[in-house]
């Protein structure tokens, strides 16, 4: 269940494009054709699926505070987290070079279509953001890191594929001249981001209150009920005193008469 929840949350709720707007440069530049968008999206899935788990291993066994304890007790106090950016980027650059070599070898047409944006994946903020989010959210296991890397890549792929399909259709629409090109693309991206916000309650909606919350609500309402009961008793006492005073006044008037 934890893997399934992380998978859908990374695609729809924490989408790299629509939630954090990471990787916008490639998203805007390579989304003019669906075929090109599919190629770049597949490359992003591969790079994220490889680099996030590798960087998780680096973080767990080298970078974080006390990670080097496996070398010996004397290394337990070492904290190399300040090297995170350097090592993460080095890992990403290595994987991107591998992807570039494979694409150039087996699909020269796709390699030419992607152009400069394929090697620029190495500095794509979505790729580095995936590793940094993995670190900050403290992904617990290697399996979850693999899950998070692949699902984050699928979310980015879904975003660029959707905008590419829309941009192919919008060529035949009568878009006002000032909004043609990037203008209408930004507007559509914003509207899709608003639409993806509706997935925010997908994994939390409809849950019942926890027993602790119910107990706290009961405790918080008890003093109010007691206060209401006390107020009713006070009103009754005042009414009884008023009736007694009226009886005494009537008796006094009769004696005077």
Give yes or no: residues 35 and 119 share one domain: yes
Domain assignment present for residue 14? The answer is: yes
Report the pLDDT value the prediction gives residue 12, as an integer from 0 to 100: 92
The tokens describing 81, both together, are 């987290």
Who wins on pLDDT, 223 or 196?
196
Report the pLDDT value the prediction gives residue 140, as an integer from 0 to 100: 87
The tokens describing 62, both together, are 């080298």
Give yes or no: residues 115 and 178 share one domain: yes
Q: Are 23 and 126 in contact (CB under 8 A)?
A: yes
Number of domains in the chain: 2
- Nearest of 38, 49, 34 to residue 98 by alpha carbon: 49
Domain assignment present for residue 50? The answer is: yes
Who wins on pLDDT, 186 or 236?
186
Domain hosting 239: range is: 211-257
The tokens describing 236, both together, are 């009754």
Query: Given 183, 201, 219, which residue is the final one in a domain?
Result: 201
Domain assignment present for residue 206? The answer is: no
Give yes or no: residues 172 and 228 share one domain: no
> How much is the average pLDDT of 83-109?
89
Give yes or no: residues 136 and 222 share one domain: no
Give yes or no: residues 137 and 186 share one domain: yes
Per-residue pLDDT tens digits for 61-83: 999 888 888 888 888 888 898 99
Question: Does residue 120 surpass a pLDDT of 50?
Answer: yes
Domain assignment present for residue 86? The answer is: yes
Domain assignment present for residue 131? The answer is: yes
Give the separation between CA 93 and CA 111, rounded to whole angstroms.
Answer: 17
Give yes or no: residues 9 and 78 share one domain: yes
Give yes or no: residues 87 and 129 share one domain: yes
Domain assignment present for residue 19? The answer is: yes
Model pTM?
0.73
Give yes or no: residues 159 and 237 share one domain: no
pLDDT band for position 186 (cuts 50, 70, 90): very high
| HEC string for the chain | CHHHHHHHHHHHHCCCCCCCCCCHHHHHHCCCCHHHHHHHHHHHHHHHHHHHHHHHHHHHHHHCCCHHHHHCHHHCCCCCHHHHHHHHHHHHHHHHHHHHHHHHHHCHHHHHHHHHHCHHHHHCHHHHHHHHHHHHCCCCCHHHHHHHHHHHHHHHHHHHHHHHHHHHHHCCCCCCHHHCCHHHHHHHHHHHHHHHHHHHHCCCCCCCCCHHHHHHHHHHHHHHHHHHHHHHHHHHHHHHHHHHHHHHHHHHHHHHC
Give yes or no: residues 182 and 245 share one domain: no
Question: Does residue 210 surpass a pLDDT of 60?
Answer: no
Query: Given 201, 227, 243, which residue is the final one in a domain?
Result: 201
Residues in the chain: 257
Give yes or no: residues 161 and 249 share one domain: no
Give yes or no: residues 257 and 175 share one domain: no
Domain assignment present for residue 113? The answer is: yes
Give yes or no: residues 78 and 55 share one domain: yes
Domain assignment present for residue 85? The answer is: yes
Per-residue pLDDT tens digits for 162-173: 999 999 999 888
């Amino acid at each position: 269940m934890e893997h399934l929840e992380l998978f859908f949350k990374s695609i729809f709720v924490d989408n790299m494009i629509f939630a954090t707007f990471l990787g916008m440069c490639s998203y805007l530049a390579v989304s003019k054709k669906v075929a090109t968008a599919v190629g770049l999206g597949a490359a992003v899935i591969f790079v994220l699926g490889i680099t996030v788990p590798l960087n998780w291993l680096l973080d767990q066994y080298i970078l974080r505070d006390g990670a080097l304890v496996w070398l010996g007790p004397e290394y337990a106090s070492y904290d190399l987290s300040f090297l995170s950016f350097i090592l993460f980027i080095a890992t990403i650059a290595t994987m991107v070079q591998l992807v570039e070599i494979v694409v150039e070898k087996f699909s020269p047409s796709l390699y030419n279509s992607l152009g400069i944006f394929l090697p620029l994946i190495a500095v794509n903020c979505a790729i580095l953001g995936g590793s940094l989010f993995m670190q900050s959210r403290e992904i617990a296991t290697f399996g979850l890191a693999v899950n998070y890397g692949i699902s984050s890549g699928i979310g980015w792929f879904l975003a660029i594929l959707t905008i590419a399909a829309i941009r192919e259709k919008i060529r035949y629409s009568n878009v006002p001249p000032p909004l043609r090109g990037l203008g209408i693309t930004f507007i559509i991206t914003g509207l899709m981001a608003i639409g993806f916000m509706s997935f925010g309650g997908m994994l939390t909606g409809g849950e019942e209150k926890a027993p602790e919350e119910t107990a706290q609500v009961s405790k918080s309402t008890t003093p109010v009920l007691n206060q209401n009961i006390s107020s009713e008793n006070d009103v009754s006492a005042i009414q009884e005193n008023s009736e007694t005073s009226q009886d005494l006044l009537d008796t006094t008037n009769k004696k005077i008469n």
